[in-house]
C-alpha cells in the first residue's frame, strides 16, 4: 500500500492533524494507532479549555497560543457538527489557604494585563453561591473559560477519519521500525501476529511518550492521576470548574461534567517513568485536595480512577517541526495542553507539511 501522508499516533494531536490535512484536500492519508484512537492520555484528560487559568508565569507562549485556540474552537466544532460539546460555565481559581493568596494575587495581576474579564472574590463561599469551603480565603472567577466534552470530540474526529474516502485508519497496529529510501518512508508494522509494510511519501509522528527508534528528543512522561465521581446536583450543585492553588497540597481541579453525569477530580504530576497504573497515594492526594475546597464531593459515589502519561518535551514547549532533511515531521510534547491546543496544532501541522510555512504562534516550537 502506498500513501501520501502517514500519521503515527491517534491521540488528540494525531486526530486533529489528520482532520486539518484532509480538510485541506490531502489524498491517501493513513493514521496508525498502536491501541485505540483517543483511548490513551487524551481519554483521561479533564477537557478544560482554560488558557487563562492553566498557565504559569513562564508559559506566556502557551498562554497566547491557548487564547488563539480557544477562539477557534466554536467554529471548528460547528464544522464537526458538535457545537453543543462546549459548556460556558467559567472557572473559579481558589487559594486553599492564606499562604496561597499572594501567589493567586500575582497571577490575577498577570492575567489582567491581557484585558481579560476576571473578578477577584474574597471568601467566595460567603460572597457567591458556589459550594466551596468557608475556609477558602480568596478566589478569582474567569467567565470566558469553558470546558468541552473531549470524549465526544475524540470520537467525532475518529469517525471523520474512518469515514473519509481519502483516509485509512489502522488501529491495534504497532510501528516496529521505519526507514527512508527511494523518496518514501517504509513503515514496518505489526497487527496481532501479522507483520506487514506500507510506504508513505511524508511521515508525521504524534506518538506522545512512546519512543520511535532513532528519533530524538524523547518525550518526558509526566504521570497524571484522576478520580471520576458520579454527579448529583442535590449533593453538589456545582457547574463551574474549580481549580486549586496550594503550596502544601499541590495544585488540582474539580471539573463537573454535569452534562455527562460525573465529576472529574485531579490531578498529579509525577515523574514515574512509564508507570500508568493509578496508585492509592496519588488518588488520595487528588481527593484530599478537592475535599478541602469542595467538601460536597465526600458524599459522591466513586465511579473509577485513571492515569495517563503526558508528553513533555525537554524544552517544555510543544514541538511542531520538520526533522532533518527528509519529509519527516513531529507534533508532540503538548504536556497538559493537548486538548486546548488541538485546533492550533492541526492548523500548524497542515501549514508546515503542505506549504512549508510555520504558524506565527508556533515559531519557537522547534525540534
Model confidence pLDDT, tens digit, residues 241-254: 999 999 999 999 99
CA 307 – CA 310 distance, rounded (Å): 10
Does the pLDDT value for residue 55 go beyond 90? no
At 217 the pLDDT is: 77
- 108 touches 150 (CB < 8 A): no
CA 86 – CA 230 distance, rounded (Å): 20
Question: pLDDT band at 58, cuts 50/70/90?
Answer: low
Angle between helices 150-163 and 12-23 (to 10 degrees): 50
Does the pLDDT value for residue 17 go beyond 90? yes
Question: pLDDT band at 56, cuts 50/70/90?
Answer: low
Q: Which residues contact 170 (CB under 8 A, 6 or more apart)?
A: 30, 31, 32, 33, 189, 191
CATH code reported for the domain at 91-143+220-312: 3.30.9.10
Does the pLDDT value for residue 164 go beyond 70? yes
CA 259 – CA 228 distance, rounded (Å): 14
What is the arithmetic mean of pLDDT over 50-66?
A: 79
Burial class (CB in 10 A: 0-12, 13-18, 19+), 278: buried
Higher-pLDDT residue of 362 and 58 is 362
- 131 touches 233 (CB < 8 A): no
- 296 touches 235 (CB < 8 A): yes
Does the pLDDT value for residue 59 go beyond 80? no
Give the pTM.
0.94
Q: Which residues contact 232 (CB under 8 A, 6 or more apart)?
A: 299, 300
Cell of 256: 463537573
Question: pLDDT band at 335, cuts 50/70/90?
Answer: very high
What is the arithmetic mean of pLDDT over 122-146?
A: 95
At 112 the pLDDT is: 87
Q: For the chain, which residues make up each domain, given as ranges?
A: 2-43+152-218+314-362, 91-143+220-312
| Share of residues in the chain with pLDDT > 90 (%) | 87
Phi, psi of 245 (to 5 degrees): -110, 120
The three state secondary structure string of the chain is CEEEEEEECCCHHHHHHHHHHHHCCCCCEEEECCCCCCCCCCCCCCCEECHHHHCCCCCHHHHHHHHHHHHHHHHHHHHHCCHHHEECCCEEEEECCHHHHHHHHHHHHHHHCCCCCCEEEECHHHHCCCCCCCCCCEEEEECCCEEECHHHHHHHHHHHHHHCCCEEEECCCEEEEEEEECCEEEEEEEECCEEEEEEEEEEEECCCCCCCCCCCCCCEEEEEEEEEEECCCCCCCCCCEEEEECCCCCCEEEEEECCCCEEEEECCCECCCCCCCCCHHHHHHHHHHHHHHCHHHHHCCEEEEEEEEEEECCCCCCEEEECCCCCEEEEECECCCHHHHHHHHHHHHHHHHHHCCCCHHHCCCCC
Does the pLDDT value for residue 214 go beyond 90? no
| Fold of the domain built from segment(s) 2-43+152-218+314-362 | FAD/NAD(P)-binding domain (3.50.50)
Amino acid at each position: 500500500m502506498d500513501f501520501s501522508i502517514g500519521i503515527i499516533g491517534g491521540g488528540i494531536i494525531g486526530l486533529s492533524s489528520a482532520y486539518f490535512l484532509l480538510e485541506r484536500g490531502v489524498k491517501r492519508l493513513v493514521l496508525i494507532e498502536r491501541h485505540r484512537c483517543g483511548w490513551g492520555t487524551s481519554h483521561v484528560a479533564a477537557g478544560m479549555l482554560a488558557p487563562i487559568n492553566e498557565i504559569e508565569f513562564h508559559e506566556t507562549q502557551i498562554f497566547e497560543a491557548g487564547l488563539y485556540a480557544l477562539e477557534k474552537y466554536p467554529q471548528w466544532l460547528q464544522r464537526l457538527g458538535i457545537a453543543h460539546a462546549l459548556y460556558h460555565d467559567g472557572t473559579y481559581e481558589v487559594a486553599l489557604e492564606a499562604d496561597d493568596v499572594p501567589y493567586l494575587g500575582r497571577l490575577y495581576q498577570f492575567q489582567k494585563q491581557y484585558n481579560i474579564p476576571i473578578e477577584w472574590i474574597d471568601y467566595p463561599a460567603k460572597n457567591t453561591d458556589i459550594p466551596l469551603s468557608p475556609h477558602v480565603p480568596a478566589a478569582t472567577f474567569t467567565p470566558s473559560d469553558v470546558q468541552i466534552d473531549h470524549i465526544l470530540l475524540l470520537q467525532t474526529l475518529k469517525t471523520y477519519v474512518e469515514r473519509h474516502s481519502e483516509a485509512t485508519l489502522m488501529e491495534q497496529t504497532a510501528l516496529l521500525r521505519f526507514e527512508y529510501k527511494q523518496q518514501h518512508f517504509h513503515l514496518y508494522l505489526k497487527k496481532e501476529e501479522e507483520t506487514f509494510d506500507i510506504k508513505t511519501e511524508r511521515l508525521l509522528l504524534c506518538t506522545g511518550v512512546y519512543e520511535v527508534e532513532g528519533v530524538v528528543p524523547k518525550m518526558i512522561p509526566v504521570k497524571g492521576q484522576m478520580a471520576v465521581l458520579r454527579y448529583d446536583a442535590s449533593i453538589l450543585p456545582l457547574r463551574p470548574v474549580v481549580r486549586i492553588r496550594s503550596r502544601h497540597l499541590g495544585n488540582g481541579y474539580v471539573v463537573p461534567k454535569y452534562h455527562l453525569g460525573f465529576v472529574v477530580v485531579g490531578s498529579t504530576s509525577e515523574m514515574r517513568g512509564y508507570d500508568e497504573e493509578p496508585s492509592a497515594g496519588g488518588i488520595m492526594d487528588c481527593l484530599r485536595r478537592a475535599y478541602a475546597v469542595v467538601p460536597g464531593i465526600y458524599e459522591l459515589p466513586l465511579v473509577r480512577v485513571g492515569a495517563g502519561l503526558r508528553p513533555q518535551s525537554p524544552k517544555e514547549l510543544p514541538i511542531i517541526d520538520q526533522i532533518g532533511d527528509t519529509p519527516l515531521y513531529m507534533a508532540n510534547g503538548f504536556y497538559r495542553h493537548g486538548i486546548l491546543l488541538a485546533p492550533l496544532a492541526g492548523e500548524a501541522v497542515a501549514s508546515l507539511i503542505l506549504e512549508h510555512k510555520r504558524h506565527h504562534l508556533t515559531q519557537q516550537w522547534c525540534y
